[in-house]
Chains A and B, each alone.
Chain A
Amino acid sequence: MSVAANQSQISQPQAGAAKQAPQSDALRAQIFQRLHPHAYLDRFLAEGVRPDGREPGEWRDVFVNVGSISTADGSALVRMGGTTIVCGVKAEIAEPELDSPDLGFIVPNIDLPAICSPKFKPGPPSEEAQVLSERLNEALISSNILPLSTLVISSGQAVWCLYIDATCINYDGNAFDAALLAMVAALGNTTLPQATFDPTTSGTMCSRAVRVPLSLNTSRMVVGLSFGCVGGSTPSLLADPTSFEEPLLTSTISVVVDGEGGVVSVERNALGDSDCGERELFPTPGTGTLDSCLPAAKDRSAILHKLLQ
């Protein structure tokens, strides 16, 4: 695309309606999207749709596949629209902490490698990945989906340590929901070898033949549901934002819901001064964005929980 073409597009938002240029519409739309992402999104929302054709409150299709990786003790692949996350659980044996001899370990981490999006660089985990890992850890620990006491092999001597590693293969927004789904699905698929602790050798032996599934707290199976708020001329609440929408959001809301529809956590990150146009969207006092998020999240969580069964 030439420099002249770019310049002709820069004046476009002020000029209003697009003037016919020699290029194809698709290319002009693409340039407009690159240069004026806010205006681009705004015009879609004014028509009540999002750039990918969804309605503001609509979620992307989700696909879950478990157990495809033979080198892991449990694994899951999740596709949420374009976002693809693979998660594998590896079990190792460790000594428990001195102050909690009857607790095992779970160690969830997510990696956003350079392969998944041009915005990530190779090297140590980015800030985004660090924050995501922390949030995932928080969701798994606070929900008590896997009681750590069930990971004990011998009290004070040996416990299981589950490394739950998720890797993003394709990043198209909302990695939190996809990663949490992948981690919970992988845990549901995990089996551990029958282990016996031998006090004379102080070693643990595992059986090759017998494998037992984890004793998961099925009523506490958590799923994440994220929303984003955009300001502009048509303030909207977008469910399951894509990687194009994410940088344009003024605030995000993540709800974690357990298997019985109970809310485990709500997290709202607001940036700037926008209140997501709450006054326009919800004119009745006492209602707001959160009030519309929670029921939407509960409805959606029922569908995700069905996928986990």
Chain B
Amino acid sequence: MAQGSFDRRRINGPEESFPPVFDAVEEHAKIWSARRDRGDADIRPIFLQPGLISQANGSAYIETARTKLACAVYGPRQSKSTTYSEKGRLNVEVKFAPFSCTRRRAPLRDAEDRSLSVAIHRSIVSSVCLELFPKSTIDVFITIIENDGIEGCIASGSIAASAALADAGIEMLGLVASCSAVVLGDETRLDPTEEEANASDGIVIVACMPALSSITNVWESGRLTANDALKCMEMCQDRCIDIHSVIAQSLSSNNKTA
């Protein structure tokens, strides 16, 4: 990957380097054609561990098959800006580790991290009682260690962020659970892998607070009929109830051991 310019703050390699080109593209044995390991409405198992980052006020590590990310919450701490704000500020920053994607990600910030930050911010911001933290900022940092599709990163990122906020003891209206779905032909599948998402007609990501049965964020892209989109949302919402109990359980078992 061509490096934009010489960066004197890092160790630099050659001016240009390219990811390897592989011979005969494996016949795409239609990896997405049928799921062998799970049903269409099943999600991959979630491993969620709050409190791994000891330096942070709250943290969570989440792993769903090949999506792995760590999230840390710092705050509430004093806002840097001089203007007075009655409500607290929630700041979400997502960073990809350079080795997290199939192509190496040069460490310069690109647009993808931002769009992910915005999506995760929207998913969790309405669950946090920001009116209780005047003049302060809550920083949520997410590092993606391994990426298996942006949809999975947004969903897992929202779950991890919500768990980390709870771990930090920040008051919230409810825990946020999030799930993604794709439409492939006439099938609807939850929690798609990267291959499935690339082959799909459209993608829906839903973030909600199952305890209050309210939706905090919906993200839809691709070409979907209104009925399909609604069906996806319903399926996601149902599954979020299960995810919610996973988060709640990991938080309470972490509390017991701590």
Please report A residues at the B interface, Cβ cutoff 8 Å: 68-72, 75, 82, 84, 86, 88-97, 105, 107-109, 111, 113-118, 122, 124-125, 130, 133-134, 137, 161, 163, 165, 167, 169-172, 193, 195, 203-208, 243
Contact = CB atoms under 8 A, between A and B. Distances in A.
Contact of A170 (B9, B18, B53, B74): B53
A190 to B, nearest CB: 11
B101 A71 contact: yes
Given A97-B14, A172-B54, A114 B139 contact: yes
A137 B13 CA distance: 12
A70 to B, nearest CB: 6
A93 B17 contact: yes
Nearest to A140: B11
Nearest to B77: A118
B87 interface: no
Contact of A117 (B55, B66, B71): B55
A115 B14 contact: no
Nearest to B57: A118
Per CB-CB distance, the 5 closest pairs between chain A and chain B, nearest first, are A88-B99, A94-B17, A115-B141, A107-B13, A92-B17
Given A107-B12, A114-B141, A117-B55, A94 B95 contact: no
A151 B147 CA distance: 27
Interface stretch (B19-27, B38-46, B212-220): B19-27
A125 B55 contact: no
Contacts of A195: 20
Contacts of B20: 91-93, 193, 195, 204, 206
Interface in B55-75: 55-56, 66, 68, 70-72, 74
Contacts of A206: 20-23
B219 to A, nearest CB: 23
Contact of A171 (B1, B16, B17, B55): B55
Contacts of B71: 115
Nearest to A116: B55
B100 A71 contact: yes
Given A113-B95, A165-B97, A172 B55 contact: yes
Given A75-B99, A122-B93, A90 B13 contact: no
Interface centre among B53, B70, B97, B147 (most CB of A within 10 A): B97
Contacts of A193: 20, 22
Interface in B61-115: 66, 68, 70-72, 74, 93, 95, 97-102, 104, 107
Contact of A124 (B9, B23, B55): B9
A71 B22 contact: no
A274 B240 CA distance: 59
Given A71-B101, A133-B11, A163-B98, A92 B18 contact: yes
Contacts of B102: 71
Contacts of B19: 92-93
A88 B147 CA distance: 13
Contacts of B12: 107
A161 B12 CA distance: 11
Given A115-B70, A165-B98, A167-B97, A208 B26 contact: yes
A52 to B, nearest CB: 11
A72 B99 contact: yes
B21 A203 contact: yes
A178 to B, nearest CB: 14
Interface centre among B22, B55, B93 (most CB of A within 10 A): B55
